[in-house]
């Protein structure tokens, strides 16, 4: 910065802060200015110097620097929302799988290159510094990452919104592999504090829980319900600003942390119960301690319901508080100003909680409250797996949420006796099916039924999934309310999944499609015209190779396995689940290995099979599959007879930051779920965007992906949804496939031997057992043959690098539809009905 008095002796001067600058011009910020800001923060925020600072300190200083820009924009966004009294969406999700925010925030603020240069001049490498950031792994997989992509798009598109979730102290467990087996370790993403987040004690909430309900009679004979809760839990909000791309809005992800309520704590404490008070404190704090590591299976734990209730109750009070600041408890406009999106059934307890708040605490009549609730809520379904549909025992509700239980009974009674009775008079079968209560020895609350009954809209996450939601999951509901059901195909944010993670491809896109493709992903179609251009093909494949070289280095660092960037990288990274069929992939690898052993002079396309997957800790078969991948990989990687023609690597602790390195380097994207089981999938979109070819089934969003990118540019195999359904209906017998296919029989029998686990025969038998005695519920054996053929086709094409490049370019050019910006626009048009916000730049406060 220029000194105002050049004649004076130079003194150290604090650089101008961003608040004093014109922030609209981030891109024009000079390297010199940024260097000063970063060093300034090293001194004044972190308390160290450029000479002494650790990498962590440099990272913290970079964050402090960009936070100046972020908070300025955040204040303006929030001010504008209040001024306009805008209608907003509140995205309620038990999971937000944000990953790292560093690269993404720098790219969205268009500061990446300047910060890179500034750090370089300060003698630091931006990659190394940004690697210091721990992943925010507050989610299991697809559903949580979708929430993260959606909030990025909401911020970019300037739609008024708040994301609400849980401030877990420990995110998804860190996975270590010991002797081939998964070991779970706690994940502490805030060990040294998270510099992106801000605590907002002024917006704390107190949430009642437990106790009993008293019925009071008024003199006029009417009844009033009074809940006497056993305790209060304090909810402390932590705000994480989410930065829209290119100076659009900065919105908030508000995560609730549970604490002991002060009053209760002190009562016990004063009575001399110091130790008891500590126990009560621990009991409250445990609620936000840890993310449940289940993906797609139920874990009916009391603590899980408490988590769900805790964060939705905090969020609703926050929404009501904000509404009442402008509308003073007049609920006439509540549904006009608010929409609440339920990310799966996890936050569905919000429905009776909003009824309770309106009726018991705000004095709204039942009919008006129900009217509001039915307009405000919308529900997204993410699974068809029956065991994944949440149900809670009535006795748990009696204990934790007695008033909510009464409200649920009342909602159910009115629904069954009005709507259902009108449509199906006297039909008790239908009533039993549609009831929120499942009768039986242990009566259960069906959260999905409650969600459908109370919501204005119900959507699935890919075309085929939404069709199946109507036809198979909720056929009667969709007959009752045909217009309630709709589809919103998932999407992913191109800012993280292309612009930030694949700089090489991003610059090819800039060259061929202009500079706005990260905002308008449809623009990438312009690259398609170069699909046949040999020189462009080469440049495209050079970028891919560079990414493969970087991944090969990372693989060697993490696993000590050396892989060749010239081999075909075949990648399957996702949660481990039988329906995702990692074991089908493994059977193919065994098949190929056997072929090579049988014929040592056989020349195949060299292939590297890359896996990454976490298994739910109690899902034994899933953990056995991880073990099998590791021991089989170990054997193959060290078997000199096959001349390094295949390698198998299992990358431990798969997470968002690893995905960002793996996906840009993939040649083949394995999307091989049994048709009808993967609701959508979202990594399939990321892979395709980055120029991988899909080897997959006609399931979830794969169908729409190949519709756009051309089935001929991908490798589709296996039974269709209809074929799966009819095979199952007609009695599927896996033994037939086993007995009729000698190759298949041989690889399955191999699992019973001690070939891969010397001195421990049968260590891999559980996989074979599940596929034969277990009835092969996901039709692995039925699809094996066609899977092998798909792989053969892939190798054929790979031999022709020009033809491969062409298909890869077409894939990468055709993913415009799968931007989460398009998904969000679909939600806005069909569900939320929002208007974009003009962020006021000039605010006087």
**Where on the chain is the footprint of ligand 26Q (CB under 6 A)?**
140-143, 146, 292, 294-296, 298-299, 304, 382-383, 388, 390, 461, 490, 678-682, 700
- Closest to ligand 26Q by CB, 345 or 657: 345
- Determine the longest span between alpha carbons in the chain, in angstroms: 96
Q: Which two tokens stand for residue 635?
A: 């054997």
Kindly state the smallest distance separating residue 834's Cβ from ligand 26Q, in Å.
21
- Closest to ligand 26Q by CB, 143 or 151: 143
- Closest to ligand 26Q by CB, 81 or 306: 306
Catalytic: which of 512, 682, 697, 757? 682
Question: CA end-to-end span of the chain, whole Å?
Answer: 27
Q: Which two tokens stand for residue 11?
A: 């003194």
Strands 161-166 and 88-92 come out as parallel
- Closest to ligand 26Q by CB, 261 or 489: 489
Kindly state the smallest distance separating residue 248's Cβ from ligand 26Q, in Å.
24
Q: Is 614 a catalytic residue?
A: no
Kindly state the smallest distance separating residue 798's Cβ from ligand 26Q, in Å.
28
Query: DSSP strand E in 638-766: where?
Result: 646-650, 668-671, 693-696, 715-716
* Cα dihedral 754, 759, 762, 763 sign: negative
Residue 260 forms beta bridges with which residues?
233
- Closest to ligand 26Q by CB, 682 or 713: 682
* Nearest residue relative to ligand 26Q (C-beta): 142
CA distance 240 to 229: 31
CA distance 550 to 545: 9
- Closest to ligand 26Q by CB, 47 or 300: 300
What does 216-273 look like in DSSP terms, one character per residue? Answer: EE-TTS-EEEEEE-SEEEEEEEEEEEEEPSSS--EEEEEEEEEEE-HHHHHHHHHTT-
| Burial (Cβ within 10 Å: 0-12, 13-18, ≥19) of residue 521 | buried
Residue 555: which H helix or E strand, with range?
helix 534-559
Distant-in-sequence, close-in-space partners of 85: CB < 8 Å, separation ≥ 6: 326, 337
Q: Residue 673 in contact with residue 700, Cβ under 8 Å?
A: yes
Catalytic: which of 496, 577, 686, 768? 686
- Closest to ligand 26Q by CB, 288 or 296: 296
- Closest to ligand 26Q by CB, 500 or 820: 820
CA distance 346 to 307: 9
Catalytic: which of 174, 322, 580, 581? 580
- Closest to ligand 26Q by CB, 107 or 450: 450
3-state secondary structure of 343: strand
CA distance 43 to 47: 5
Kindly state the smallest distance separating residue 488's Cβ from ligand 26Q, in Å.
10
Kindly state the smallest distance separating residue 308's Cβ from ligand 26Q, in Å.
9
In angstroms, what is the C-alpha Rg of the chain? 28
Note the residue count of the chain: 845
Q: Which two tokens stand for residue 658?
A: 């690893």
- Whose tokens are 């000479």? That residue is 51
CA distance 304 to 292: 7
Kindly state the smallest distance separating residue 122's Cβ from ligand 26Q, in Å.
41
Kindly state the smallest distance separating residue 299's Cβ from ligand 26Q, in Å.
4
Catalytic: which of 73, 304, 403, 575? 575
Backbone angles phi, psi at 95, to 5 degrees: -135, 135
Kindly state the smallest distance separating residue 683's Cβ from ligand 26Q, in Å.
8
- Closest to ligand 26Q by CB, 158 or 288: 288
Catalytic: which of 76, 382, 446, 577? 382
Q: How many CB atoms lie within 10 A of CB 198?
A: 15
Q: Is 575 a catalytic residue?
A: yes
- Whose tokens are 């590591």? That residue is 293
Catalytic: which of 167, 470, 496, 574? 574
Kindly state the smallest distance separating residue 301's Cβ from ligand 26Q, in Å.
7
Q: Is 682 a catalytic residue?
A: yes
3-state secondary structure of 669: strand
Q: Which two tokens stand for residue 115?
A: 């910060």
Q: Is 580 a catalytic residue?
A: yes
Q: Which two tokens stand for residue 431?
A: 């009533």
- Closest to ligand 26Q by CB, 86 or 294: 294
Kindly state the smallest distance separating residue 793's Cβ from ligand 26Q, in Å.
25
Angle between helices 582-598 and 620-637 (to 10 degrees): 30
Which of 185, 190, 160, 188 lies closest to 174 in space, CA to CA?
Answer: 185
Q: Is 321 a catalytic residue?
A: no
Kindly state the smallest distance separating residue 577's Cβ from ligand 26Q, in Å.
8
Question: Which are the catalytic amino acids?
Answer: 382, 574-575, 580, 682, 686
């Amino acid at each position: 910065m220029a000194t105002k008095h050049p004649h004076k002796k130079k003194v150290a001067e604090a650089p101008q802060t961003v608040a004093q600058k014109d922030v609209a011009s981030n891109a024009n910020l000079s390297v010199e200015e940024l260097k000063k800001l970063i060093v300034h923060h090293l001194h004044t925020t972190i308390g160290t110097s450029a000479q002494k600072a650790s990498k962590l300190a440099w990272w913290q200083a970079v964050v402090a620097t960009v936070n100046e820009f972020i908070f300025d924009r955040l204040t303006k966004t929030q001010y504008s929302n209040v001024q306009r009294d805008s209608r907003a969406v509140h995205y309620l999700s038990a999971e937000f799988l944000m990953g790292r925010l560093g690269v993404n925030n720098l790219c969205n603020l268009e500061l990446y290159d300047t910060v890179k240069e500034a750090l370089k001049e300060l003698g630091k490498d931006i990659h190394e510094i940004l690697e210091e950031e721990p992943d925010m792994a507050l989610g299991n997989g697809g559903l949580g990452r979708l929430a993260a992509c959606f909030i990025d798009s909401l911020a970019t598109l300037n739609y008024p919104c708040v994301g609400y979730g849980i401030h877990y102290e420990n995110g998804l467990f860190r996975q270590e592999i010991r002797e081939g087996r998964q070991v779970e370790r706690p994940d502490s993403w805030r060990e040294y504090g998270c510099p992106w987040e801000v605590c907002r004690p002024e917006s704390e909430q107190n949430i009642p829980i437990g106790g009993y309900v008293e019925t009071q009679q008024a003199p006029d004979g009417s009844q009033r319900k009074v809940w006497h809760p056993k305790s209060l839990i304090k909810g402390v909000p932590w705000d994480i600003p989410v930065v829209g791309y290119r100076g659009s809005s900065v919105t908030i992800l508000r995560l609730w942390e549970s604490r002991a309520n002060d009053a209760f704590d002190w009562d016990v404490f004063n009575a001399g119960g110091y130790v008891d008070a500590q126990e009560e404190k621990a009991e409250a704090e445990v609620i936000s301690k840890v993310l449940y590591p289940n993906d797609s299976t139920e874990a009916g734990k009391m603590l899980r319901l408490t988590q769900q209730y805790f964060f939705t109750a905090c969020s609703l009070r926050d929404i009501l508080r904000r509404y009442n600041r402008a509308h003073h408890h007049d609920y006439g406009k509540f549904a006009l100003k608010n929409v609440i999106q339920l990310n799966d059934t996890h936050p569905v307890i919000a429905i009776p909680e909003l009824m309770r708040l309106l009726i018991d605490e705000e004095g709204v009549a039942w009919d008006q409250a129900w009217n509001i609730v039915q307009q405000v809520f919308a529900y997204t379904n993410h699974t068809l797996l029956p065991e994944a549909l949440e149900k809670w025992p009535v006795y748990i509700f009696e204990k934790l949420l007695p008033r909510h239980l009464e409200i649920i009974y009342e909602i159910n009674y009115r629904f069954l006796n009005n709507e259902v009775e009108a449509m199906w008079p006297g039909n008790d079968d239908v009533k039993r099916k549609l009831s929120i209560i499942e009768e039986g020895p242990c009566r259960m609350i069906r959260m999905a039924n409650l969600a459908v009954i109370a919501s204005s809209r119900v959507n699935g996450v890919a075309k085929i999934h939404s069709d199946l939601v109507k036809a198979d999951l909720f056929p009667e509901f969709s007959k009752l309310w045909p217009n309630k059901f709709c589809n919103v195909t998932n999407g992913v944010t191109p800012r993280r999944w292309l612009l930030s993670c694949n700089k090489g491809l991003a610059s090819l896109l800039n060259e061929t499609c202009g500079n706005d493709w990260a905002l308008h992903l449809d623009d990438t179609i312009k690259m398609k015209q170069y699909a046949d251009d040999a020189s462009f093909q080469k440049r495209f494949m050079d970028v891919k190779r560079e990414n493969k070289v970087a991944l090969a280095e990372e693989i060697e660092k993490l696993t000590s396995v050396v892989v060749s960037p010239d081999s075909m990288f075949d990648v399957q990274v996702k949660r481990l689940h039988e329906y995702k069929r990692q074991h089908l992939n493994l059977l193919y690898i065994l098949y190929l290995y056997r072929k090579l052993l049988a014929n040592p002079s056989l020349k195949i396309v060299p292939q590297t099979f890359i896996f990454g997957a976490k298994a739910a800790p109690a899902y034994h078969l899933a953990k056995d599959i991880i073990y099998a991948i590791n021991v089989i990989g170990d054997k193959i990687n060290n078997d000199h007879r096959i001349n390094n023609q295949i390698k198998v690597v299992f990358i431990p602790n798969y997470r968002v930051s690893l995905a960002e390195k793996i996906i840009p380097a993939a040649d083949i994207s394995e999307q091989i779920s049994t048709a009808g089981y993967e609701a959508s999938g979202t990594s399939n979109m990321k892979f395709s965007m980055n120029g991988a070819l899909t080897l997959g089934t006609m399931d979830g969003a794969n169908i729409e992906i190949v519709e756009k990118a051309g089935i001929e540019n991908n490798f589709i195999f296996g039974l269709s949804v209809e074929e799966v359904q009819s095979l199952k209906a007609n009695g599927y017998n896996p033994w037939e496939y086993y007995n009729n296919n000698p190759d298949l029989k041989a690889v399955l029998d191999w699992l019973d031997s001690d070939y891969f686990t010397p001195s421990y025969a049968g260590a891999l038998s559980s996989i074979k057992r599940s596929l034969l005695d277990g009835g092969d519920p996901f039709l692995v054996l039925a699809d094996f043959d066609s899977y092998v053929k798909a792989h053969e086709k892939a190798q054929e094409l790979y031999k022709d690098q020009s033809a491969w490049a062409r298909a890869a370019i077409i894939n990468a050019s055709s993913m415009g539809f799968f931007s989460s910006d398009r998904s969000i626009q679909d939600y806005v048009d069909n569900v939320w009905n929002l208007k974009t916000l003009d962020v006021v730049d000039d605010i006087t406060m």
